[in-house]
Amino acid sequence: MATSFARMDESTREQWEQIGRESLRNQGRVAERVLGLLRSLAQVTDGFAVDQLSHSLQTATRAERAGADPELVVASLCHDIGKAISGPNHPEIAAAILRPYVRDEVHWAIQVHQDFQGRHYYHHFGMDRDARERHRGHPGFGLAERFADEWDQAAFDPDYDALPLEHFEPLLRKVFAVPRDYVASARQG
């Protein structure tokens, strides 16, 4: 016999409480999935000098060495995980995955990071190198600028001594352990 409802319009409060308890108990699955996406980036090189896992590790290592806080280090590590699925919309994918677990400013910096990266390469495509200027005045502008200019755009160096994924795993598990907003996570139904 089924332990829960067959249709939402027949659900009870007790059933939802049970689902809430089990979802929280299984929250560790989120970090595992994210780690799996990160590991899969080792198979994505696409013409760059380093694979995308190496790029991600370099970005996170640069952030950590610059004194970034845990949310920012983990966001730096995960900023390109969208590339495991689809390149053109990768910032939105990564930002959506990070959103419940990091502060708004960090989420926003990842969401718009391509506009800031444009400074360093858009001219090769005849695109606007100052795409970031449309965001000037946003509270996260300084953070997004530092992320792109000091960490992300500089992280394609085959000789950089990046820290391994294992180094970041405990921090990643901690950041993804609890959604910042339980109400937001309840909307997942």
Q: Does 80 bind Fe ion (CB under 5 A)?
A: yes
Residue closer to Fe ion by CB (options 120, 138) is 120
Residue 138: Cβ-neighbour burial (10 angstroms; 0-12, 13-18, 19+): middle
Residue closer to Fe ion by CB (options 115, 152) is 152
Residues 111-150: x where in contact with Fe ion by CB under 5 A, - otherwise, as a string = ----------------------------------------
Helices 70-78 and 52-65, packing angle to 10 deg = 160
Binding segment for Fe ion (CB under 5 A), chosen from 5-13, 74-82, 98-106, 179-187, is: 74-82
Q: Does 71 bind Fe ion (CB under 5 A)?
A: no
Distance CA 104, CA 76 (A): 14
Distance CA 156, CA 55 (A): 6
Residue closer to Fe ion by CB (options 80, 115) is 80
Residue closer to Fe ion by CB (options 116, 141) is 116
**Count of chain residues binding Fe ion (CB under 5 A):** 2
CB of 127 to Fe ion, least distance (A): 17
Q: Which residues touch 156 (CB under 8 Å, ≥6 apart)?
A: 48, 49, 50, 55, 58
Tokens describing residue 130: 């100052």
Among 64, 71, 115, 152, binds Fe ion (CB under 5 A): 152
DSSP annotation of 48: S
What DSSP line would sit under 76-96, residue for residue?
A: HHHTTGGGGT-STTHHHHHHH
Binding segment for Fe ion (CB under 5 A), chosen from 24-32, 33-41, 80-88, 169-177, is: 80-88
Residue closer to Fe ion by CB (options 71, 80) is 80
Distance CA 105, CA 95 (A): 11
Give residues in contact with Fe ion (CB under 5 A).
80, 152
